[in-house]
């Protein structure tokens, strides 16, 4: 994929691109602490006739540094994508196919809420729950605490954040090593990425701080003692500010493919990054128990939303990849490419 910088009405956006300028438009949206580069293996060997654009979202990669207003939920990113679509000349034709991975899957849900009439199809790859990440206890997204304690910027491990800011690509002290965390959790531990050095270099381009990753925090009287702030990445996808459940009720319903791995440790019903899971495992002391703060049922929440989408007349197809972790774009790129192409062609 080539690298280009696109001037938009909101933010100077760095993009990885491939295919002819007049090809069928396909927008590929990455997740937290990654970049558009993570879609490269999916884009390679794509057939002719498609124009693939994988932007670096605000706060990531080489895109212009601007703060994330978490009080808008995922809308800063959705609005940035809309400005990019306009700059590319794709707006208004209803032909854009969009795929979002992880947090990018949540951004795509928000984009569809805002601009469903622009979309020909939607692919959600291990997507963020419609009720954000962490801190909710049932399929309807009911918060464990009124202030959403246990979510947001304060839930990121401080030593991991420090090493991200320092650009530390070593394997020393594995528990806080960005390289080891990515290797262990963002793709299956059984997968050895041949381009791991390049992927980690992309991770370390993340804008670290209160207005980027992970964002600011506030103290809370509720366990585990921290609640979301109002700026930065992790706060934006806290359920305090993030709710994309209106996706189920779109008036225009592009066909949806929901694809995920069965060994995902990030987006699951017992995520290893969710304080409900960490409390249950006694990793974080003082856990108030299953009745108060259970692991977030992320898969059940997404399924509930998509069941409503289907009941309202939308088309939804679910694909679960056996033996795959959180990173299908990296570890199962060929299968993801095949599924994405079949979905796009079926929509056409």
pLDDT digits (tens, 9 = 90+) for 174-195: 999 999 999 999 988 889 999 9
List, for residues 41-76, the tens digit of each pLDDT value.
999 989 999 999 999 999 999 999 999 999 999 999
Q: Where are the alpha helices (DSSP H) in 70-212?
A: 75-87, 103-115, 158-165, 178-181, 196-203
Q: Which of 178, 174, 208 is nearest to 196 (CA)?
A: 178
Give CA–CA dist 235/153, Å, rounded: 5
Q: What is the mean pLDDT of residues 3-20?
A: 98
pLDDT at 259: 98
Cα–Cα–Cα angle for 305, 340, 251, nearest 5°?
Answer: 40
| Average pLDDT of the segment spanning 15-34 | 97
Distance CA 59, CA 232 (A): 8
In three-state secondary structure terms, 104 is helix
Q: What is the pLDDT of residues 195-224, one digit of tens each?
A: 999 999 999 999 999 999 999 999 999 999
Angle between helices 75-87 and 103-115 (to 10 degrees): 70
Provide the residue range defining the domain that includes 121: 2-347
CATH number for 90: 3.40.50.1820
**DSSP run (H or E) holding 301:** helix 298-311
Helix (H, G, I), strand (E, B) or coil at 197: helix
pLDDT in tens, 88-99: 999 977 799 999
Q: Which residues contact 345 (CB under 8 A, 6 or more apart)?
A: none
Q: What is the pLDDT of residue 278?
A: 97
Cα separation of 144 and 291, whole Å? 9
Task: Find the helix or strand (DSSP H, E) in which 26 lies.
Answer: strand 24-29
Give the model's pLDDT for residue 94.
Answer: 76
Residue 324 in contact with residue 267, Cβ under 8 Å?
no
Domain count, the chain: 1
Given the structure tokens 């602490």, which residue do they identify?
33
pLDDT given for residue 348 in this prediction: 79
The Cα 178–Cα 160 span in angstroms is 7
């Amino acid at each position: 994929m080539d690298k280009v910088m696109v001037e938009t009405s909101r933010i100077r956006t760095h993009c990885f691109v491939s295919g002819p300028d007049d090809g069928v438009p396909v927008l590929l949206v990455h997740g937290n602490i990654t970049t558009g580069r993570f879609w490269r293996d999916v884009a390679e060997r794509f057939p002719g006739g498609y124009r693939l654009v994988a932007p670096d979202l605000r706060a990531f990669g080489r895109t212009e540094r601007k703060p994330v207003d978490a009080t808008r939920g995922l809308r800063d990113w959705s609005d940035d994508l809309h400005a990019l679509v306009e700059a590319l000349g794709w707006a208004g034709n209803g032909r854009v196919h969009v795929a979002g991975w992880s947090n990018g899957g949540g951004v795509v849900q928000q984009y569809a809420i805002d601009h469903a009439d622009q979309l020909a199809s939607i692919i959600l790859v291990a997507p963020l729950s419609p009720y954000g990440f962490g801190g909710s206890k049932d399929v309807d997204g009911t918060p464990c605490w009124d202030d959403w304690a246990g979510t947001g910027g304060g839930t990121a491990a401080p030593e991991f954040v420090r090493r991200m800011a320092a650009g530390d690509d070593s394997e020393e002290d594995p528990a806080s090593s960005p390289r080891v965390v990515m290797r262990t959790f963002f793709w299956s531990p059984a997968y050895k990425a041949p381009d791991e050095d390049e992927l980690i270099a992309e991770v370390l381009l993340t804008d670290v701080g209160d207005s980027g990753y992970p964002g600011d925090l506030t103290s809370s009287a509720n366990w585990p003692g921290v609640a979301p702030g109002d700026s930065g990445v992790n706060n934006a996808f806290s359920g305090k500010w993030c709710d994309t459940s209106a996706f189920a009720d779109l008036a225009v319903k592009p066909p949806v493919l929901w694809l995920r791995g069965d060994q995902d440790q990030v987006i699951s019903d017992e995520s290893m990054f969710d304080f409900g899971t960490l409390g249950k495992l006694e990793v974080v002391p003082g856990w108030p128990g299953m009745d108060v703060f259970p692991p977030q049922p992320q898969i059940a929440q997404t399924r509930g939303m998509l069941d409503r989408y289907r009941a309202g007349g939308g088309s939804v197809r679910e694909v679960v990849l056996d033996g795959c972790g959180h990173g299908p774009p990296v570890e199962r790129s060929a299968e993801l490419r095949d599924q994405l192409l079949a979905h796009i062609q079926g929509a056409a």
